[in-house]
Amino acid sequence: MKIIHTGDWHLGQLFYEYDRTFEHQMFLDWLTNLIAEQQADVLLISGDVFDLSNPSALTVRMFYTFLNKAVRANPDIQIIVTAGNHDSPSRLESPKPLLELSNIHIVGMIEKDLNGHINFEKLVIPLKNKQQQTEILCLAIPFLRMGDYPVIAECSDPYAEGVAEMYKQVNKYAIAQLKSGQSVIAMGHLYAAGAERSGNDEHERPILGNIECVSASAFPADLKYVALGHIHKAQKIGGLNHIRYCGSPIPMSFSETNYTHQVICFDFNNGEVENLHPIEIPTAIPLLRVPNNHRPIHEVLSAINELPDADGDLNIAPYLEAKVLLDGPEPGLRHKIETALKGKHARLAKIDVKHPVLESGGVTTFITNKKLEEIKPIEIFTKVYEAKYNVPVPEILTSLFNQVFQEVSQGESK
């Protein structure tokens, strides 16, 4: 059996207010072709299909159109979709009865009976080989919200231990159903301990803070593969080759400027994973950082001037992050950069500004040395300004601040 692992599509996402429909459609078309070329038996989509819990009609149509094309590319393919923290579990599951007629299984939520017992049968999906014999049982576990996983009494980490117990119980149920020659794999959407995040990507931040990291040991040792989603950088977890994040198909932040996106493909023969390898996803729209490091504004403008001239549709031009080093206020910064970009084959997405840091320790040290009620507003303004720009506050700004403060104070006293 040939299996493809993907996830974290975030269909409908805006990248600094730019629509990404073109990029997502390019990926989905590429994936459809890959399914046809590989004659894949199984496609695992590990959560965050959509970027928003209430996606637009156009975005939903894009997803279902892909499913239709994937089945036409290989009528025997089996597709399992689990919900991520960005997805609405009920919305994702709504077409479930219809899609299952095409071997498309969607698991959005954990179902329980009136006594609180989990419906394990829903979470264990049989996968058949080309001879239509069940060869794998897949634990299709979506993102687990509070109340989904078992409650462990008197434990130090209720989330991590609850998730571990969830996998243990579902796996126990699956093993009880196993027949000779069958194996178990699993899916998950969570933040695994030790996972390397993609810079400051807010989409993959710890879901509940830093308390919800799940150890690789949470997954039963007899699982042959664990297809994870949530972290956008492809990687194995805990040094184990069979526990993997596939990563997102398109860049989600500028920290991924030089990062190769991929799906994971592997064969499953005689109960074992073989030939596990990544397949690179072509980049539809590249990311540019100009310059590579923070530089003064005149150097940034000079670097922008060296960019290629506009060629073709600007709606598919590269996204640009301008990295600027400032030692004082620059009110017209964005206008200067946008003016320099006119006629260039790039679209301004982000201006990343960096200022020199005061050696004195800045505002934090200042505030901790005095009680808040003793600090005058002009002192806070001065400290913040000097910490940010590393130069004294100009007299004109001090005068304007005092004027505004006086007007506000007079307004409050009326």
Predicted pLDDT at 379: 82
Q: How far apart are CA 289 and CA 278, in angstroms?
A: 26
Q: Dmax of the chain from CA atoms?
A: 84
Strands 104-107 and 78-82, how do they pair? Answer: parallel
Predicted pLDDT at 200: 55
Q: Which residues pair with 137 in a beta bridge?
A: 126, 184
Strands 235-237 and 240-245, how do they pair? Answer: antiparallel
In the chain, DSSP finds a helix count (H) and a strand count (E) of 11, 17
Answer left, alpha or beta for residue 71, where phi above 0 means left and psi between -120 and 50 means alpha. Answer: alpha
Predicted pLDDT at 367: 35
Predicted pLDDT at 206: 47
Q: Which residues pair with 269 in a beta bridge?
A: 272
Which residues of the chain are modeled with pLDDT < 50? 204-211, 361-372, 413
Predicted pLDDT at 410: 63
Q: Which two tokens stand for residue 45?
A: 């989509």
Predicted pLDDT at 217: 95
CA-wise closest residue to 150 among 133, 130, 167: 167
Cβ count within 10 A of residue 128: 16
Burial class, 95, CB count within 10 angstroms (exposed 0-12 / middle 13-18 / buried 19+): middle
CA-wise closest residue to 323 among 298, 301, 293: 293
Predicted pLDDT at 133: 95
Predicted pLDDT at 397: 86
Cβ count within 10 A of residue 1: 16
Q: Over the stretch 64-120, which tens digit does the pLDDT of each residue have?
A: 999 999 999 999 999 999 999 999 999 999 999 999 999 999 999 999 999 999 999
Predicted pLDDT at 210: 45
Q: Are 192 and 214 in contact (CB under 8 A)?
A: yes
Predicted pLDDT at 362: 47
Q: Which residue has the tokens 């990563």?
A: 247
Apex 337 CA angle, 350 and 357, nearest 5: 65
What single-letter DSSP state applies at residue 182? -
Q: How far apart are CA 413 and CA 354, in angstroms?
A: 39
CA-wise closest residue to 257 among 353, 321, 323: 321
Residue 381's H or E segment, with its range, is helix 377-389
Predicted pLDDT at 366: 31
Predicted pLDDT at 199: 63
Q: How far apart are CA 83 and CA 212, in angstroms?
A: 18
Within 211-358, where are the H helices? 297-305, 333-341
Q: Which residue has the tokens 């219809």?
A: 98
Q: How far apart are CA 158 and CA 150, in angstroms?
A: 9
Burial class, 170, CB count within 10 angstroms (exposed 0-12 / middle 13-18 / buried 19+): buried
Q: How far apart are CA 18 and CA 349, in angstroms?
A: 8
Predicted pLDDT at 401: 85
Q: What is the pTM of this model?
A: 0.84
Q: How far apart are CA 100 and CA 86, in angstroms?
A: 23
- Torsion sign over Cα 160, 164, 170, 173: negative
Predicted pLDDT at 358: 55
Residue 303 half-sphere exposure, CB side, CA atoms within 13 Å? 19
